[in-house]
Amino acid sequence: MTEMDSAMILAGVVAGAAPIVLAAIGETITEKSGLINLSLDGSILLSAMAAFVVSYKTQSLAAGFAAGAMTGAAVAAIIAVFSIYLKLSQVAVGFVLALMTRDLAYFLGNPYSRIHGPQVTPLPVPYLSDIPFIGPVLFQHNITVYGSLLAIGLSGWYVYHTSYGLKLRSVGENPVASYARGIHPHGVQMIHAIIGGLLVGLAGAVFSLSAKPGWGRPQGAEGTGWIALALVIFGGWNPVKAAAGAYLFALLQVMGIYFQGWFPSIPAQVFQTAPFPLMIFILVLMYASQQESVRILAQNRPWLKSILRFFSAAAPTALGKSFHQQ
Amino acid sequence: MNIISLTHKRLLTAVVDWSITLICIGAFTTLILLATGAPPVSTYYHIFMGAFGSWVKFGHSVKAWIPLTLCACGLLYTFKIGLWNIGIEGQMIMGAVFATGILKWGVGSENEILFLWLSFPAGLVGGALWAVVSGFLKTKCGVNEIFAGLGLNFMAQGLILWLIFGHWKQPGIASMSGTETFPQTLWLPQAFAVNVPPTGIMLTILALCITAYILRFTRIGLNLTAIGNNATASVLFGLHPDRYMLLAMSLAGGLSGLAGCIQVVAVYHRLIPSISSGYGYLALLVVMLAGFRAGMTAIISLFFACLNVGSIQLPMVLQLDSSLSGVIQGAMVLVTLGVHAWRKRRAAS
């Protein structure tokens, strides 16, 4: 493999992962506040459909991205309202919405299937794109990919280095104590459900306007939502790590194409299931790292200790529980 | 006097709730239809006629009702103990895979009927095994059953594709249309001209009755409820939540595996990539809408099955996507949950 080839592969990974990065970051931010948005798989499709149809009708990409983001936010807001104000199970509402928004997307988008619409054009960054290797990998994409790269930095900074991020994390860990400190847990959850939903909606828009342009049944974004939900766990509820997981996943997908060359009898879809056993394995490791017996075992084994430290992330304590505010 | 007015009030509440629910769903669906420029009345008429227009069409609905009800039946156990068995889809797929394995073995043998009957326990075991994997991950490895189930669903889907394109491919060319169709001797006998398997209907009704009996009248049902309500307290009471979780999971997996088996022997007569038709996921909605009651589950399954079958012809007659049924089903569950929660909130304040 020459340097040119590996640069091309990595560029494909960076571009292909863009929507998954956005979705995983959005979901991480929502879950940090203690809410689970399980509807991801459907809301990505619905936003993709909305973005495509609006940008087709108005011939404006900006309007398409706005429509996608608003759709994602609206679905997230429904879950938040049902959970916060009606005390319904977030998992139940999210799951129903995951199925329903997917069907709604297919139904409403049916007249717009397989037609040519606007799509984002590449925009190489001047000067930076001429850097050997790094240029083609990072700086010869379109604006959505730069946006996904920017989102990684911004989300990490927001969650861990701002006072809003601190409030967000405290509500996710202990809403009662946060309330006592003068934070409004329901408000914080509502806002972050919507922010997360906006990012998820943007992920859908990136699919239908850039990564897999157009609309149809199937669109090509199916299953991404579940993968994004898995990546949140993979990243241990850290948006930057979740994004790293998205790149690993995209790399697996690209490698799948190569593997298929080696095993032509195995269809590509089989390789696409690879992240799921990996996710289960990582969940098991995370659980094991919290066990006393494993910790004792690791005391004299530095290599095991470092592995455990890597996987020692835990979910926000109040994740999925509803808080009764007086 | 007091009692009469009390029952009167409860009846009124129920009527008001149902009216609100139906108006919301009707308004929502009609709005969506108007948004796509489809004629609402004609659409509803075609869905109705698609499901009830003839005996053959109703037969299709019954054929969809069988796997849906079996899966929903299984989910009653897991919901009772407080588990979200999203993995039911994969369990159904594994049931179909195991059943196909047995049938493939039986092709061309002297007593094929034996293999046909053996496919039922095989499907049961396949589904139960896949469910137990999920159960062990939950009880021994601390993996949330939702994510374990989702992961296992996708793995089962990968396995089915690998089999269809690999060992079990059709002679000549492997394709998405599935494995080779089984000879008619390995088809489940169908009744009348409507193509409905009586064995399947009887098995489903039996499963429903047994489930309702176990959950309501036996110690197992009581213990499942106790653990579902408060797992910590149940330990103090001498129960083992882990064992009951594995039991509930394997019962759910077994029943959905049976559903997968029936999809192979009575509907498709081969293994296809979409063998589960999404009935596992749909069954989760059925049980939620039925309020976790066995009797209601059967009725709502039939209604959902009719909606699914009725909307199949929408693309042909009205150029609409058949996913309309899914939209209506989702809206029904959401609105019902919402109205119920709103009523509880009002009662509390």
- Please name each of the domains of chain B with its CATH number: 59-348 (1.10.3470)
**Contact A91/B327, CB-based, under 8 Å?**
no
Chain B: residue whose CA lies nearest to A280: B148
Please report where in the chains the tokens 């209907």 appear, as a residue: B201
CB distance from A107 to chain B under 8 Å? yes
Is A316 within a domain?
A: no
Identify whether A72 is part of a domain.
Answer: yes
Return the structure tokens found at A143. Answer: 């604006």
User: What ipTM did this prediction achieve?
Assistant: 0.90
Q: Which one of A78, A84, A96 would you mutate to disrupt binding with B, by most B Cβ within 10 Å of its Cβ?
A: A96
- Asked if B36 and A99 come within 8 Å (Cβ–Cβ), the reply is no
Closest-approach residue (CA) in chain A for B286: A96
- pLDDT tens profile A232-279: 988 889 999 999 999 988 888 777 777 777 777 677 677 777 778 887
User: Is the CB of A103 less than 8 angstroms away from the CB of B326?
Assistant: yes
Give the residue numbers spanning the domain of A225.
3-310
pLDDT tens digits along A43-77? 999 999 999 999 999 999 999 999 999 999 999 99
What CATH number is attached to the domain comprising A120? Answer: 1.10.3470
- Does the beta carbon of B348 lie under 8 angstroms from any beta carbon of chain A? no
Q: B15: which residues sit within 8 A by CB, 6+ positions away?
A: none
Q: What tokens appear for A219 in the block?
A: 């669109």
The predicted pLDDT at position B186 comes to: 80
B24 contacts chain A (CB < 8 A): no
Across chain B, what does the average pLDDT equal? 89
For residue B285, the chain A residues in CB contact (below 8 A) are 96, 99
Q: Do B323 and A106 touch (CB under 8 A)?
A: yes
- C-beta atoms of A284 and B144 within 8 A: no
pLDDT at A1 over 60: no
- Of the candidate ranges A213-227, A256-270, B289-303, the one whose mean pLDDT is the lowest: A256-270
Is A104:A46 a contact under the CB 8 Å cutoff?
A: yes
For chain B, state the CA radius of gyration.
Answer: 22
Whole-angstrom distance, CA of residue A209 vs CA of residue A207: 6
Mean pLDDT, residues B146-165 taken together: 90
Chain B touched by A110 (CB under 8 Å): yes
Query: Considering just the CA atoms, what is the radius of gyration of chain A in Å?
Result: 20
Nearest to B283 by CA among B50, B74, B60, B22: B74
B190 or B331, higher pLDDT: B331
Q: How confident is the model at residue B110 (pLDDT cuts 50, 70, 90)?
A: confident
- Closest chain A C-alpha to B191 CA, distance in angstroms: 33
What CA–CA distance (Å, rounded) separates B35 from A238?
40
Looking at the domain assignment, is residue A148 inside a domain?
yes
The reply to whether A287 falls in a domain is: yes
DSSP string computed for B180-228: PPPPGGGSPP-BTTTTB-HHHHHHHHHHHHHHHHHHHHSHHHHHHHHHH
Q: Which residues of A touch B36 (CB under 8 A)?
A: 107-108, 110-111
- Residue B41 CA: distances (Å) to CA of A113, A276, B24, B48, B321: 25, 44, 17, 11, 16
Is residue A322 assigned to a domain?
A: no
For residue A34, being part of any structural domain is answered with: yes
Q: Is residue A320 part of a domain?
A: no
C-alpha span between A42 and A222 (Å, rounded) = 8
Q: Please give the residue of chain B at the shortest CA–CA distance from A92.
A: B288
Region B174-179: mean pLDDT is 77
pLDDT per residue over A150-162, tens digit each?
Answer: 999 999 999 999 9
How far is residue B231's CA from residue B237's CA, in Å, rounded to a whole number? 10
Dump pLDDT digits (tens) for B195-234.
Answer: 788 889 999 999 999 999 999 999 999 999 999 988 888 8
Contact B147 A82 (CB under 8 A): no
Determine the Cα–Cα distance for residues A246 and A234; give it in Å rounded to an integer.
9
What pLDDT, on a 0 to 100 scale, did the predictor assign at position B193?
A: 66
What is the per-residue pLDDT for B192? 67
* Best mutation target, B88, B130, B139, B141, to test chain A (most A CBs within 10 A): B141
Is the separation of the CB atoms in A89 and A32 below 8 Å? Answer: no
Q: How far apart are CA A240 and CA A226, in angstroms?
A: 18
Count the domains in chain A. 1
Q: Examine residue A324 and state whether it is found in any structural domain, yes or no.
A: no
CB contact under 8 A, A103 and B143: no
